[in-house]
Amino acid sequence: MVSPTSMKAAAITGYGGRENLVTLDLPAPTPGAGEVLVRVAYAALNRADVFIRQGLTGPGVRQPRALPHVLGVDGAGVVVELGEGVAGVNVGDRVAVFPALSCGYCRHCRRGEQSRCSDYGLLGEDEWGLQRELIALPAASVLKIPDNVSLADAAAVPGAYTTAWTMLVTKGRLRAGERMLVVGASGGVSVAAMQIAAYSGAEVWATTRTAEKAERLTALPFVHRVFVTPGPGWSEEIRHATGGEGVDVVVDAVGAPTWRDSIESLAQGGRMLICGATGGDRPDISIREIYQKNRQIIGGPFGGWNDFREVYDFLASSGVRPVIDRILPLDQVGEAHRVLEEQEHIGKLLLRCAQTEDLIDEPTTTHAPHPHLEMT
């Protein structure tokens, strides 16, 4: 096979509005020693894409060093070339990309807990990401996808589903029979958390700001009850709905606007699980609300290799599939950002990166504007 010399990539050429998003022709990467070259079939978007484009910085969202910058934390594709000395991966393997960057040597990395490494970063944030046709990366960063999982489904998993898995299963120790409330429940991580929790036997409640979103969430088989919460003060309704007791677990990825109600919705000893702060990171709360009621706040960005691998095993054995809101061609990355910014979506937004038909591998029923869903 003749190696490709160029590739299409979605990139930002400046910081600010959506006019900074372009599709570029860039030189194709070549795999170095220990690396594999992957043809990316699909890449997914995350809210972090919007924050990076807007030039926001802070822990977890560092400014990329140079422009243009290729976005994209999530992706899946097919291995097309091996660098020197690669074993255990073959040309033709269908793979998902583990997006964490880390030192590889510290005790956290050795335990498969990469997001605890002091050098932790993510593809798409700290280095060029996956919204492109080709990527060369260490063979140790790819995971073979189970045969019964499509490339599109596999691409929707890394950021959202690994993060949700880490929060709920690895750290949050969610148990069957517990009642879990997801705040602002339409983004990728929130939807992933609800699916995993419902499958695990938890009762899943959700809040959302509009009646229209509530209707769409109610239609999802893994959401048991939806509350429309246009403004603050909704914890009263949650407490009332639980006979004054509160819920066992709250998942809040919104941050400042919802933290107070989230904490006040928790039962004695309840756990709040956090992985993001899309609405701001400086909540106005009383810490007495935490210690006086034996509550816990458990945080973590993303997860490690072990969590990542377990999520694909979970999909393969459970039949649960990611909720994909819609799949757009790579050159419509601007439209994808619009949908994210206007919060029109439920679940994941994907870009079809492959420019040829041979890598199209997506669920047969589609979606927009309603989510695709496959639960068995």
Shortest Cβ distance from residue 108 to Zn ion (Å)? Answer: 5
Q: What are the phi and psi torsion angles at 212 (to 5°)?
A: -65, -45
Question: Is 91 within 8 Å of 37 (Cβ atoms)?
Answer: no
Residue 120 or residue 222: which is nearer to Zn ion going by CB?
Answer: 120
Ordered alpha helix ranges (H), the chain: 47-53, 107-110, 151-155, 158-165, 188-199, 211-218, 235-241, 259-264, 288-291, 305-318, 333-341
The C-alpha atoms of residue 352 and residue 362 are separated, in whole angstroms, by 10
Shortest Cβ distance from residue 355 to Zn ion (Å)? Answer: 36
DSSP letters of 242-278? TTTS-EEEEEE-S-TTTHHHHHHTEEEEEEEEES--T
Residue 100 or residue 359: which is nearer to Zn ion going by CB?
Answer: 100
* Site for Zn ion contains 190 (CB under 5 A): no
DSSP letters of 1-32? -PPPSEEEEEEESSSSSGGGEEEEEEEPP---
Residue 49 or residue 307: which is nearer to Zn ion going by CB?
Answer: 307
Kindly list the strands in the beta sheet with 21-27, ordered across the sheet, starting from the edge strand earlier in the chain: 21-27, 6-12, 69-70
Residue 111 or residue 173: which is nearer to Zn ion going by CB?
Answer: 111
Shortest Cβ distance from residue 374 to Zn ion (Å)? Answer: 36
Which residue's C-beta sits nearest to Zn ion? 117
* Site for Zn ion contains 115 (CB under 5 A): no
Residue 172 or residue 301: which is nearer to Zn ion going by CB?
Answer: 301
- Classified as helix, coil or strand, 11 is strand
Shortest Cβ distance from residue 118 to Zn ion (Å)? Answer: 7
Which of 106, 285, 297, 316 is close enough to bind Zn ion by CB under 5 A?
106
Shortest Cβ distance from residue 214 to Zn ion (Å)? Answer: 42
Considering CB under 5 A, how many residues would be counted as binding Zn ion?
5
Given the rule CB under 5 A, which of 95-103, 134-142, 199-207, 342-350 is the region that contacts Zn ion?
95-103
* Site for Zn ion contains 103 (CB under 5 A): yes
Given the rule CB under 5 A, which of 51-59, 109-117, 136-144, 149-157 is the region that contacts Zn ion?
109-117
Given the rule CB under 5 A, which of 57-65, 116-124, 178-186, 285-293 is the region that contacts Zn ion?
116-124
The C-alpha atoms of residue 143 and residue 223 are separated, in whole angstroms, by 30
* Site for Zn ion contains 122 (CB under 5 A): no
* Site for Zn ion contains 140 (CB under 5 A): no
Given the rule CB under 5 A, which of 21-29, 114-122, 179-187, 223-231 is the region that contacts Zn ion?
114-122
Shortest Cβ distance from residue 133 to Zn ion (Å)? Answer: 30
Which of 72, 95, 96, 102 is close enough to bind Zn ion by CB under 5 A?
102
Site string for Zn ion, 332-351 (x = CB under 5 A): --------------------
Residue 61 — left, alpha, or beta (φ > 0 → left; ψ -120 to 50 → alpha)? Answer: beta
* Site for Zn ion contains 109 (CB under 5 A): yes
The C-alpha atoms of residue 86 and residue 253 are separated, in whole angstroms, by 39
Shortest Cβ distance from residue 119 to Zn ion (Å)? Answer: 6
Three-state SS string over 124-142 comes to CCCECCCCECEEEEEHHHE
Distances, alpha carbon 51 to alpha carbons 45, 63, 85, 328, 333, in Å:
12, 10, 38, 20, 15
Shortest Cβ distance from residue 121 to Zn ion (Å)? Answer: 11
What six digits make up the tokens of 340?
A: 């994210």
Shortest Cβ distance from residue 98 to Zn ion (Å)? Answer: 14
Residue 117 or residue 354: which is nearer to Zn ion going by CB?
Answer: 117
* Site for Zn ion contains 117 (CB under 5 A): yes
The C-alpha atoms of residue 285 and residue 227 are separated, in whole angstroms, by 22
The number of C-alpha atoms within 13 Å of 257 and in the hemisphere containing its C-beta is 14
> CA 29, 153, 67: angle at the middle one, nearest 5?
35
Shortest Cβ distance from residue 110 to Zn ion (Å)? Answer: 8
Residue 115 or residue 229: which is nearer to Zn ion going by CB?
Answer: 115
Residue 107 or residue 282: which is nearer to Zn ion going by CB?
Answer: 107
Which residues contact Zn ion (rule: CB under 5 A)? 102-103, 106, 109, 117
